[in-house]
Structure 1
Amino acid sequence: MNTKLEEIDGKYVATLEGEMDTMAATEAEEVLKPLYHSDGKDVIIDCTDLEYIASSGLRILLVILKGAKATGSKVIMHGVNDDIKNVFKLTGFITLFEFD
């Protein structure tokens, strides 16, 4: 699993690649922790190359969302494939996040 975080045009962009299983989620969380307090900047989670997400990965995304909403920011899920989107539907997260 590769996780990258950068700031582009006043937005945070997190890129997730590979499989976010429980062990990978722990490592990804260290990279994504700055997003827990997005400071009013919108957050884009690029899932174009994300192949799998475990519940621990969903928890991280939920914490990011809560932090963003607290400062009036949005979290936009980008490039989510049908398998990952199905996980969001099954867990009810589909209504919490914006998708493009």
Structure 2
Amino acid sequence: MNLAIEKIGEVLVVSPEGQINSANAGSVESDLLAHVEKGESRFVLDLSNLNYISSAGLRVVLVLAKRLKQGAGALVLCALQPHVREVFDISGFLSILTVVDSRDDAVAKVA
């Protein structure tokens, strides 16, 4: 699991590559929350290179969303692969998270 990080203006764009599963969810969560602790409050999760997410991975996204909401931050997800989107849909996360199609739309929404 690799997390590609890019800063676009005030927005931190995080692009996980591969899978977020029970084996690596803890380290992914730690990495993401470390950025929040450093003061980052506007996040885009670009999931275009994520080919699998487990329930442990969904929990990581939820923890990040809650932490950002507490600090008046923002989180937008974009470019979900069809099978990853299905996991978010079945779990009900699409109704509680902001999801857009493109990275540009996501950055504009949180900027």
Question: What is the Cα deviation at residue 93 of structure 1?
Answer: 0.7
Secondary structure at the aligned position of 2:24 is classed as helix
The residue aligned with 1:90 is: 90
Secondary structure at the aligned position of 1:22 is classed as coil
Question: What is the Cα deviation at residue 43 of structure 1?
Answer: 0.9
Q: Are 2:38 and 1:30 equivalent residues in the alignment?
A: no
Per-residue deviation, residues 58-83 of structure 1 (Å, max 9, x unmatched): 11110110111122222110111111
CA RMSD of aligned residues (A): 1.9
Question: What is the Cα deviation at residue 50 of structure 1?
Answer: 0.1
Q: For the residues of structure 2 that align with 1:11 and 1:98, how far apart are their CA atoms?
A: 15
Q: Is the 8 A contact 2:29 2:64 kept in 1?
A: no
The residue aligned with 2:2 is: 2
Question: What is the Cα deviation at residue 34 of structure 1?
Answer: 2.4
Q: What is the TM-score normalised by the length of structure 1?
A: 0.86
Percent identity reads 26
The residue aligned with 2:103 is: none
Give structure 1 stretches of 5+ with no counterpart. Answer: none
* Amino acid of the structure 2 residue aligned with 1:91: S
Q: Is the 8 A contact 1:44 1:78 kept in 2?
A: yes
Moved more, 14-23 or 31-40: 31-40
Q: How does 1:64-83 map to 2 (within 5 A)?
A: 64-83=64-83
Q: Is the 8 A contact 1:19 1:50 kept in 2?
A: yes
Q: What is the TM-score normalised by the length of structure 2?
A: 0.78
Give structure 2 stretches of 5+ with no counterpart. Answer: 101-111
The residue aligned with 1:20 is: 20
Q: For the residues of structure 2 that align with 1:90 and 1:3, how far apart are their CA atoms?
A: 25
Question: What is the Cα deviation at residue 6 of structure 1?
Answer: 4.0
Secondary structure at the aligned position of 2:29 is classed as helix
In the superposition, relative to structure 1, how do residues 39 and 96 fare at CA in structure 2: closer, same or farther (>3 Å)? farther
Q: Is the 8 A contact 1:35 1:64 kept in 2?
A: no
Q: For the residues of structure 1 that align with 2:85 and 2:75, how far apart are their CA atoms?
A: 15
